[in-house]
Structure 1
Amino acid sequence: MSLVVSLRVPDGIVVCADSLSTARTNVQMVLEDLQIKCPECGSSIEKDRLKLPVVPIPFSASSFTQKLVPLFERYSIASFGLGIIYGRSAMYHLRLLEMEHQENIPKLEELTDKLVSYFESHLESQFPGYKEKAPEDWFPIGFHLNGYEDQHPRTYEIFVGKKSIIRKHELIGCTIGGDMTVVQKLWEIGKKDSGLQFKYGLLSLQDAVDLGTYLIETTSSFQRFANVVPTVGGAVDVALVTPFDGFRWIREKSLSTMVQRREER
């Protein structure tokens, strides 16, 4: 599922993402040498094998999934939802999209349309006819696209699915995506008592880094003790976007650091 956090504070945009990916496997149990007794006549029916309905079982697939990446060295994008699209990771697709538009870098709003178009086409390849067959609220892929337009911070929430949605956030504040249950409970405390609300307008960059990390790690820790399959976990990647320096890593996984350095050579 994932959890990504985009914090727009006075000095920049801080983006955080977890690294856990989950998947599902289908399990079908088979009963053998079964005797079924009729409740009316009392006679027994013997059956050698009886297949029970297939049950999807979720499990944690990896703690090292890359969900947060730079785009064109000036934007950040973080993904949640479906991690593998048509046989390739979300990060791989984003790199392909970046290469496709490297010579003519689109503006943020234009880029949102290109993202939706790109991933809708790949969803069609993986799920043919989904536009007609999928339920109305089917949004298997989500993104946070962060950057600056005319010195103003922007977070675009992008939900790709049957009827894709794009939402723009341009005020100081926090936007989350993925498994939002725990964070929303924390927000509810502030709704009941304004003195307990997060003061985004007063946060320094370091405060924003710590808060974003806290929200993800708190969700992960809660799931550790709850009776649920974890959907958030692994290392927390953190990036900073400013109108002066574009995208800069604050904290990232060691392997992604090595890969990006090789690409820059």
Structure 2
Amino acid sequence: MSFIIAVHVKEGIVLASDSRTTYTQTVKKGDLTTVKFGTHTTDTTDKTFLCPNQIGISTCGNASIAGTPITGYIEAFIRENMTETTDVCQVPKMLIDYFQTMPTVPDTNFIVAGYHVEDHVKTQRVYHLNVLRKQIATVDTTSQGAKWDGETQTLSKIMQKTYMRDKSGREISLGDTKVPWGLFTLQDAIDFAQYAVDITIKTMHYSNVVETVGGPIDILVIKPDKAFWIQHKELHA
């Protein structure tokens, strides 16, 4: 799987993701089918992409098509379909249409973020979509907040209300984590995005699970007039 997050505040939008891809192998022998989890793992996968016109794309879910990493397909989509005049509102449908042409349509989710321009006014747009089910949802950006996807259990448990039982069996509320989204600055958004990915990585590392989230954390910032990387892994020898 993966972990991706978009944090949107008045100053801009932050996209962040991990870099791990874990592959499974299905082996059929007679009537017996065996699924082997984690047969190959890489920590070098790009899951967040900077596109023309200050548009960002993050992805999670199925990470290969016909045995080839999905990264190359996403880069080809950007190269062949997106220009400096592409409107962020067009990109979700463009992604769905593009992946319908693949040999197998992957069960892959995307977060698309950027600024829509109308009458010289730039407005934040964040979308969440699945290319297999052809579903597009618009994230409400009228107030500050966040949208995350992939291995969401760790962060969701932190954010949700939790309970415990005392010695008599009585249920006691421990409350929930109340994040003051409305008070976030852009730096707060960057810090929270990094925290969200990092705590997912570390919690999975110390849990009895297949570690499907890991590796370097990539962080992209999108402002109305520019987009730039806060941190991004690079190719090296």
- What TM-score results when the alignment is normalised by the length of structure 1? 0.75
Structure having the larger proportion of residues in helix? 1
Structure having the larger proportion of residues in strand? 2
SS at match of 1:228: coil
Who is 1:56 aligned against? Answer: 35
1:135-214 to 2 correspondences below 5 Å: 140-150=107-117, 151-161=122-132, 163-171=133-141, 172-189=144-161, 196-214=177-195
Change (3 A) 1:206 1:193: farther
SS at match of 2:160: helix
Who is 1:126 aligned against? Answer: 104
1:235-246 to 2 correspondences below 5 Å: 235-245=216-226
Whole-angstrom CA distance in 2 between matches of 1:66 and 1:20: 9
**Would the aligned equivalents of 1:10 and 1:202 in 2 still touch at CA under 8 Å?**
no
Who is 1:37 aligned against? Answer: none
Whole-angstrom CA distance in 2 between matches of 1:104 and 1:240: 17
Whole-angstrom CA distance in 2 between matches of 1:215 and 1:102: 29
Who is 2:45 aligned against? Answer: 65
**Would the aligned equivalents of 1:147 and 1:153 in 2 still touch at CA under 8 Å?**
yes
How many residue pairs were aligned?
220
**Would the aligned equivalents of 2:53 and 2:85 in 1 still touch at CA under 8 Å?**
no
Whole-angstrom CA distance in 2 between matches of 1:195 and 1:95: 39
SS at match of 2:100: helix
**Would the aligned equivalents of 1:189 and 1:197 in 2 still touch at CA under 8 Å?**
no
CA displacement 1:137-159 (0-9 Å, x = unmatched): xx711111010124222111011
Whole-angstrom CA distance in 2 between matches of 1:91 and 1:24: 17
Letter of the 2:128 partner, please give it.
E
Instruction: Say if 2:79 is the partner of 1:99.
Output: yes
Whole-angstrom CA distance in 2 between matches of 1:4 and 1:84: 17
Deviation at 1:105, TM superposition (A): 3.4
SS at match of 2:95: helix
Instruction: Say if 2:14 is the partner of 1:14.
Output: yes
Deviation at 1:221, TM superposition (A): 1.1
**Would the aligned equivalents of 2:23 and 2:37 in 1 still touch at CA under 8 Å?**
yes
Whole-angstrom CA distance in 1 between matches of 2:201 and 2:220: 19
Deviation at 1:114, TM superposition (A): 0.9
Percent identity, please: 24
**Would the aligned equivalents of 1:69 and 1:91 in 2 still touch at CA under 8 Å?**
no
Whole-angstrom CA distance in 1 between matches of 2:113 and 2:83: 20
**Would the aligned equivalents of 1:8 and 1:200 in 2 still touch at CA under 8 Å?**
no
Whole-angstrom CA distance in 1 between matches of 2:98 and 2:62: 15
Deviation at 1:200, TM superposition (A): 1.5
**Would the aligned equivalents of 1:152 and 1:170 in 2 still touch at CA under 8 Å?**
no
Who is 1:230 aligned against? Answer: 211
User: Structure 1 regions of 5+ residues with no counterpart?
Assistant: 30-50, 128-138, 259-265
Who is 2:167 aligned against? Answer: none
Whole-angstrom CA distance in 1 between matches of 2:83 and 2:25: 42
Give the root-mean-square deviation of aligned CA atoms: 2.4
Deviation at 1:237, TM superposition (A): 0.3
Deviation at 1:203, TM superposition (A): 1.3
Point out the structure with max Rg over C-alpha. 1
SS at match of 2:96: helix
Deviation at 1:104, TM superposition (A): 7.0
The partner residue of 1:90 within 70, 75, 78 is 70
**Would the aligned equivalents of 2:3 and 2:197 in 1 still touch at CA under 8 Å?**
yes
